[in-house]
Structure 1
Amino acid sequence: MGQLRTSPLPPRATELERWGLGTPAELRELRSSLRDALTRHGLVQGEDLDEVPHLVVLVATELASNALRHGLPPTSVALLAADDCFILDVADHDLGTVPELIDTHPLDSGGRGLLLAQSVSLAVGWYATKRTKNIWASFPR
């Protein structure tokens, strides 16, 4: 087990779109809408970046699922842009817990969201505001 590094979003990050989630049933719409948003906001296509939308959607689903399951509603998911990357920011209202990287066993049913985010994104971190706990991950644009 370990703690995720504390780090605010890059100051030049601009919010492109935001989704509010109250139930796991809304994850399907998030996946579809997020994929469209990535294309609409200028994902540069290329051999090395072809899997970026899939990875962003996968990480968004994992982090939002964790926030819905373990955090305090409502959960929000924001897509931001900074320089040459997209940033995914997932927030819930549970200020009493700190995100932890958990060693999981193959048969465990959860706990992989942060590890997955770390393995497929450029960087991952978290920060708290007065009302929310936010976990972010960045991806090439």
Structure 2
Amino acid sequence: MCPFTAPAAFHRHRRLALDSGGPCPVRGGLAFVREALRSWHLADSPPTTDDIVLVAAELLSNAVRHGGGPRDLDLTRHGDRLRVRVTDRSPEPPRLGTRRPGQIGGHGLVIVDRLAVRWGCYPDGGGKAVWADLPLPPERRSPPPPRLPPPR
């Protein structure tokens, strides 16, 4: 039996190395996410793209605040899902805190939990990887250019 292989349009992967110690890994990571969404023809699909950018921001911010800084940001598209994965330097798993009204901060994973279809973490190279799967709208492609009459 032949294993199913999805067409390239349904499985795409992008990786951004953040180990370089750049000035702002969150800002650079979010620019990377927006560019990937544009290249996959998903940039004009709010609120989906807004949710993806927000989840990426939360995972990157948590890696900065609690994980010793992010190492990599991965985006993997599988059909109607996009996985956002951030690796960091801390083996300590993230904890979904209890939300208290009026509390400032500490809501990052609550936001991820509400927006993602599922999320989790696993050990990765002395640190951990935290990932979230988000739903995607169907991919839209640009219409083909108009056909010109043959030259005479």
Which residue is 1:86 aligned to? Answer: 82
Between the two proteins, what is the percent identity of the paired residues?
30
Listed as ranges, the gaps of 5+ residues in structure 2 are: 1-10, 137-152
Cα deviation 1:87-137 (Å, max 9, x = unaligned)? 100111111x22211003233332211110110121111111233311111
> How far apart are the structure 1 equivalents of 2:77 and 2:133?
9
Larger Rg: 2
TM-score relative to the length of structure 2: 0.70
- 1:50 corresponds to which residue? 46
Specify whether residues 110 and 25 from structure 1 end up closer, same or farther in structure 2 by C-alpha distance, changes over 3 A only: same
Is the aligned partner of 1:71 residue 2:67? yes
Where structure 1 has 5 or more consecutive residues not aligned to the other structure, the ranges are 1-12
Which residue identity lines up with residue 28 of structure 1 in the other structure? R
Note the aligned Cα RMSD (angstroms): 2.5
Task: State the number of aligned residues.
Answer: 126
1:98 paired residue among 61, 86, 93: 93
- Letter of the aligned partner of 1:26 in structure 2? P
Cα contact 2:17–2:73 (8 A) shared by 1:
yes
Cα distance between partner residues in 2 of 1:17 and 1:130? 16
The TM-score with structure 1 as length reference comes to 0.74
- Shift, 1:59, TM fit: 0.9
8 Å CA contact retained: 1:122, 1:140: yes
Greater relative contact order (CA < 8 Å, ≥ 6 in sequence): 1
